[in-house]
Chain A
């Protein structure tokens, strides 16, 4: 059973850079059939898709975050990562990594448990 696990700092200072990693276990990230994504959840804005990537490196970003975000993949480590620059309190959220299911019409079929990130000095 494929599983996803997010890791990263629970606290980041304003204006700094947030870095998160999603480790994939029980399966390979190097599947041509799947895409991998970061999604966050805040009480105010609900669920917000941030970015997605294919193991080949093909990526796409939410236009509202594109200027501050980088998503990357490391097939050798079976991981993908998120970098969010110049964070503010508005970036405080639970961050999830997820897999876009094959032939699911864009739905995410497997999610990590999420990691809470607070932006505060």
Chain B
């Protein structure tokens, strides 16, 4: 099974900063890579799918890129509402695997 490893596990940022979260796969994956945002007490919410396609209604400050085994989520101009935990998720055609999460905290 593919393992997904996120880094860092947590990071601090100030409002207005640009932050990048990395997700590495244990083996090369295709375009089945998504990013989610989760706030305390809430279900995850999809932000991007197929690596870089922005979900409807999600701010364009979120962007995704990558290929092979390394993928990134970038948040530009971080806003107060962005402080949350972010997860990557891979799909290989039959099974699904999530990263362990990255908690974005206010500096």
Report how many A-B pairs have Cβ atoms within 8 Å. Answer: 70
**Known A49-B95, A96-B43: A107·B34 in contact at CB below 8 Å:** yes
What's the nearest-Cβ distance from chain B to residue A42, in Å? 11
Do residues A60 and B95 form an inter-chain contact, with CB atoms below 8 A? yes
Find the A residue at minimum CB distance from B90.
A106
Interface string of A80-113 (1 = CB under 8 A from B): 0000000000000000101001001111110111
How far, in angstroms, from A47 to B92 measured CA to CA in the complex? 17
Q: Is the CB of A106 within 8 A of B46?
A: no
Q: List residues of chain B with CB within 8 A of the CB of A101.
A: 46, 49
Asked whether A74 is an interface residue with its Cβ less than 8 Å from the other chain, the reply is: no
Closest to A109 in B: B46
Q: Are B44 and A105 in contact, with the CB atoms below 8 A?
A: no
Q: Which of A44-70 contact B (CB under 8 A)?
A: 46-49, 52, 60, 62-63
A107 touches B44 (CB 8 A): no
A113: chain B residues at CB < 8 Å are: 42-43
Measured in the bound complex, the distance between the Cα atoms of B91 and A101 in whole Å is 12
CB distance from A56 to the nearest CB of B (A): 16
Q: In the assembly, what is the distance between CA of A114 and CA of B61, in Å?
A: 28
* 27 A–B contacts, CB within 8 A, in A order: A46-B87, A46-B100, A47-B44, A47-B87, A48-B98, A49-B96, A49-B98, A62-B95, A104-B34, A104-B46, A105-B34, A105-B49, A105-B53, A105-B91, A106-B32, A106-B96, A107-B32, A107-B34, A107-B50, A108-B34, A108-B44, A108-B89, A111-B45, A112-B43, A113-B42, A113-B43, A114-B43
Binding site for A on B (CB under 8 A): 1, 31-34, 42-46, 49-51, 53, 55, 87, 89-101
